[in-house]
Amino acid sequence: MKTLKLIMMLGLGAMVSACATTDTATRNARFDTVPPQVQQFETLPAQQFLASAPTNFSAAFNVQQINVLVPQSLKVSERNSYYPGGDIVWREDPIGNRHAQVKAIFDTGFAKGTDAMAGDAGLRLDVKVLRFHALTEKARYTTGGVHSIKFALWIRDAKSGQALGEVRIVDADLDALGGQQAINAEARGQTQKVRITDHLAEVIRQELSNAEGFTNPKLGMIQQLKKI
């Protein structure tokens, strides 16, 4: 209840300040060095936090800034096995900086998912990717599986930086097509990147619109194995 009251008070204050001045949206702002508000991500163990019950931000707020951090501490795997170890498994971009590639997917998906928010008061989203495990080539063209995605989300007032509620730990898994299904999907333009980007757009919409936030689907045994 105290958290809900704090959210309401901060929301009211943000809306009043938004009426007084006009800010330039920085939705696509990027940072080359980690800013102070994101430095804490590396020192906050996600398992210590519980997601707070969100209120409906979408009607009253608009997202002015999205900071996505993909920590260098996340291990990348390039092994072409059915289930390689590692925190980041991504193959649809050329071999290169996988951390930057994952960040770009989150940037695009979250920007798309928050674009329709047209309220007066501004929000800032601070996001720390905890896991991004898509399919290897071997799994993609045989069995399929699960895109295992997990991130931490801080919702803040864009002006003050004040957190509106506690950090949320979001599991956002997606069924991963395989074999002929994957080939047919690619022929329609539904690549892994397209499906995951659209999925992340829907995840952030639900996190900012539904009282219960995003509900992770139950995708069977492979999903459970990826949590180990």
Query: What does the mean pLDDT of the chain come to?
Result: 77
Helices 98-114 and 192-209 sit at what angle, rounded to 10 degrees? Answer: 50
- pLDDT band at residue 165 using 50, 70 and 90 as cut-offs: confident
Which tokens go with 180?
């002929």
pTM: 0.74
Q: Residue ranges of the alpha helices (H) in 21-145?
A: 36-39, 98-114, 137-140
| Domains in the chain: boundaries | 2-19+34-226
The CATH class given to the 2-19+34-226 domain equals alpha beta
Q: Could you read off the pLDDT of 24-61 as tens digits, one per residue?
A: 333 333 333 444 444 454 444 333 333 333 456 667 78
Query: What is the C-alpha to C-alpha distance for residues 171 and 70, in angstroms, rounded to an integer?
Result: 16
Q: Is the pLDDT of residue 159 over 80?
A: yes
Q: Residue ranges of the alpha helices (H) in the chain?
A: 2-20, 36-39, 98-114, 137-140, 179-187, 192-209, 221-226
Query: What is the C-alpha to C-alpha distance for residues 133 and 216, in angstroms, rounded to an integer?
Result: 15
Q: What is the pLDDT of residue 78?
A: 96
